[in-house]
Structure 1
Amino acid sequence: METSLSVQDARRPGGATLALAGLQHVLVMYAGSVAVALIVGYALELPRDQLSYLINADLLCAGIGTLIQSFGAGMFGIRMPVVMGSSFVTVGPMVAMAGGGDIGLPGIFGATFVSGLFGIAIVPVFARVLRFFPPLVTGTVITSIGISLLPVGIQWAGGGATADDFGAPTHILLAAFVLAAVLLINRFGRGFWVNISVLLGLAAGYLLAWLCGAVDLSGMTSRPWGQVVTPFHFGAWQFPPAGILAMCIVMVVTLVESTGMFLALGDLVERPVDAQRLRRGLSGDGLATALSGLFNGFPHTSFSQNIGLVGMTGVTSRWVTVVSGVMLVVLSLCPKAAYLVASIPKPVLGGAGLVMFGMVAAAGLNILSQADLSRRANQLVIAVSFGCGMIPLASPEFFAALPDWTAPIVHSGIMLTTIAAVLSNLLLNGAGGASSSGGAADEARHAETNELHE
């Protein structure tokens, strides 16, 4: 399945290559994207049929977002080989909303819709916002996301936090088997197979769990073969103020991420990203997120692993990811397939989750390495940010005396880390602290996006 084309051929691959390359992109992003729906769904304790619907909605929104970015829609979309998926950055605030009083999926989707519109609105002045997110801040935030998600993976590995047999040997062995499978594929595999190692590990773990009688497929026969995802399936939107604020802050973080990925992708496909193209790409992120709120989905962003796949295969045509978008939309019409995903035993998910969430933290550390960590001021920014972010993990009742409406912010370690990182960096490095904390790499990044506010 590993494909390599010359730059000339890659511009418009033939039919078979187009379909194969499009499928590759779907396989690479699938596990990471549906993981967000699984985390939020389990936090809300959704029944399996509703969880499978949430997975289908996530796939539909990913497909729509991918088509917006790859094919383009007027002023929206970067028109490059981009695949969209649910962002892990949003998990903390959404889980906090899931446990915050009366806020449920309608509140999450309402806040998602507003944050998408907010993202579109700030794109023209985004360069001014970007200066508050140098690698020191961005790397700290991304690392905190992985750290905040790891307890979820650990709970899954033990069988689920509410399981009567939590920590049973069979649960631990299943999780260890998946973890070992992923590591072995990365050790002995190559190319495309390494890129889908988590998906292959999940498949191997699912098979072993089925052989052990740990897979429950009750209810599968009652699911239809086809079902269209419709707006407001989980109820009319709600607009929790703190939830909206949290999701808007998260939107800024995702736009910062997307900026770096778009610039990297431009180099890969030999089409440098100028200010106009970047504006269309970031606006595409906002539109995809707003539409996700409408179709029961979560904030979406460009997936870095798919950008890596572009570099690995050499297939640089945007029509490849247009095909990927169509495939994702088609997959969203298959409830039985989503039900299979929803039936994956939690220990199997836990083994894969330890890898996925740990890799998020590792990606953050990689970004942090771009900052000058020998400076005491930068060390203090990291120390204070992680300290604040650990509060909800170490003591969930720490903010119990505060009103319920503050839950999306104060009960999310990711939100507390983000706020602490931005404010402490401003205090210790000043308003111009972006370049002083990020070094030459950061200055180059801002130089490329400086045209946005001219």
Structure 2
Amino acid sequence: MDHGSAQISPARIVPATRVPPVALGLLALQHVLVMYAGAVAVPLIVGRALGLPPEQVAMLVSADLFACGLATLIQSWGLPGIGIRMPVMMGVTFAAVTPMIALGTNPALGLAGIYGAVIVAGLFALLAAPLVGRLLPLFPPVVTGTVILVIGISLMRVGVNWAAGGLGNPRYGALLYLGLALFVLLVILGLTRYARGFIASASVLIGIVVGMAAAGAFGLVDLSRVATAPWFDVVRPFAFGAPTFDLVASLTLCLVMVVVMIESTGMFLALAEITGETVDAARLIRGLRADGLGTVLGGVFNTFPYTAFSQNIGLVGVTGVRSRWVAVIGGVVMLVLGLIPKLAALVEAVPPCILGGAGLVMFGMVAATGTRILGAVDFAANRNNLFVVAVSVGFGLIPLVAPAFFKQMPDVLHPLLESGILLTALSAVSLNLFFNGLGSRADARAAAARLAHAAEA
């Protein structure tokens, strides 16, 4: 659930036949660079939150890049009955981060429990893809905007702790860490304000690179593991052991996948408007099945649930190139990057304070996107929407501000109750039905497209 700043210009769309191979390659590389920081953020967040050693965090990064490539190829190139076959780049969704950390920190589940739940959620998405159109009325902008807002707020805790040096760091909050985080933040904001085109689109990645150089000058970067990491290695299935399957954990991520598929639906409809192509029910189902199959492969190859990256959809509008082969080549690039352990070790070597400066932007943009979507909700004519947002945000903040609030509840419910995102989703859907009833599917499709445009703007 990542967000770009592109302005969409459908009149500039260029047919694929007009794009020479070299230009396609450069455009594909641009797509990879624009999404790279967001793509590697989730394995870093989850790996460090679970206290994994650096070599295993690097393994998660490699697995994520490899699976990003596979999921992108499935979505853009396509398989029989699977894949929307449009210029879509796939990456790990931020929506699943908080629930997965709650699952992984449960001693009875751990990584094996996460991967079992991811596989079940992917299979669920494969089977449920034809039904998502019927679920759209459950997720109007007042619901989806509220959920995305709480996702961003929940993730900000990660970014703030990174900026201070990372939890468990004996120098937590040192002025050097805070200063470097602020420096990265200022670089990103400066590039966003004054740069144009690709430089502005890749401002987060450039900010991390510049920040890492600054951190190296202060002796905060340890590249010893980069030196010893091999240049090439395969990504092995089930590298952390056989997955385990827990009912509540699986149901938790299945609910997350419903939110992910609703968001993907909006992205696909918005992309159709940008490129001038038609996305009918059959094509939409193929695209959602690709989300499911990509997520299954994520569980097999030691990574997480996948969805379309919105900043890359916005980039299609910027470049004006609608060729799906740009995404296909980008998928191949991501897959190859996942086979280079030195690169993963380099990503893992980025100090937390540098990631914190970038995280404040990335995670804050998620929250801002939720706010922007809610800005399209009519609160004046329908005051009931205020109660939907107010109560749902309140439920979503319970695990954040009072972690022990549900301590006396049965252990089996903790993965569900400790996820503010899922509490928000359940509350928002229920309250919207109570106050506003169920809308039509046509209205829901139109609202999903508007939601996607809001996420890209």
Fold shared, TM-score > 0.5 on shorter chain: yes
Whether the aligned pair in 2 keeps the contact of 1:134 and 1:434 (CA below 8 Å) is: no
Distance in 2 (CA, whole Å) between partners of 1:362 and 1:446 is 17
* Alignment length (residue pairs): 441
1:389 counterpart letter in structure 2: G
Please show how residues 109-148 of structure 1 align to structure 2 within 5 Å: 109-148=115-154
Whether the aligned pair in 2 keeps the contact of 1:140 and 1:368 (CA below 8 Å) is: yes
Please show how residues 32-431 of structure 1 align to structure 2 within 5 Å: 32-374=38-380, 375-430=382-437
Cα RMSD (Å) of the superposition? 1.9
Identity of aligned residues (%): 52
Whether the aligned pair in 2 keeps the contact of 1:231 and 1:296 (CA below 8 Å) is: yes
Distance in 1 (CA, whole Å) between partners of 2:449 and 2:319 is 30
Whether the aligned pair in 1 keeps the contact of 2:86 and 2:323 (CA below 8 Å) is: yes
Give the Å deviation of 1:445.
4.3
Give the Å deviation of 1:433.
4.9
1:263 counterpart letter in structure 2: L
Q: Which secondary structure state, in structure 1, belongs to the residue aligned with residue 209 of structure 2?
A: helix
Give the Å deviation of 1:407.
2.6
Distance in 2 (CA, whole Å) between partners of 1:70 and 1:443 is 22
Give the Å deviation of 1:6.
6.3
Distance in 2 (CA, whole Å) between partners of 1:293 and 1:168 is 37
Whether the aligned pair in 1 keeps the contact of 2:235 and 2:301 (CA below 8 Å) is: yes
Give the Å deviation of 1:11.
3.9
Give the Å deviation of 1:442.
4.2
Whether the aligned pair in 1 keeps the contact of 2:269 and 2:448 (CA below 8 Å) is: no
Segments of 5+ residues of structure 1 without an aligned counterpart are 449-454
Q: Deviations over 1:201-237 (max 9, x none)?
A: 0001000000111112233332111110011100101
Give the Å deviation of 1:446.
7.4
Distance in 2 (CA, whole Å) between partners of 1:378 and 1:94 is 30
Q: 1:8 to 1:304 in 2, by over 3 A?
A: closer
Q: 2:37 maps to what in 1?
A: 31
Q: 1:151 to 1:8 in 2, by over 3 A?
A: closer
2:384 counterpart letter in structure 1: A
Q: Which secondary structure state, in structure 1, belongs to the residue aligned with residue 178 of structure 2?
A: helix
Distance in 2 (CA, whole Å) between partners of 1:158 and 1:40 is 18
Q: Which secondary structure state, in structure 2, belongs to the residue aligned with residue 219 of structure 1?
A: helix
Whether the aligned pair in 2 keeps the contact of 1:426 and 1:433 (CA below 8 Å) is: no
Distance in 1 (CA, whole Å) between partners of 2:370 and 2:199 is 24
Distance in 2 (CA, whole Å) between partners of 1:215 and 1:141 is 36
Distance in 2 (CA, whole Å) between partners of 1:447 and 1:322 is 24
Distance in 2 (CA, whole Å) between partners of 1:443 and 1:121 is 20
Whether the aligned pair in 1 keeps the contact of 2:103 and 2:415 (CA below 8 Å) is: yes
So what's the TM-score if we normalise by structure 1? 0.94
Give the Å deviation of 1:101.
2.5
So what's the TM-score if we normalise by structure 2? 0.93
Whether the aligned pair in 2 keeps the contact of 1:100 and 1:404 (CA below 8 Å) is: no
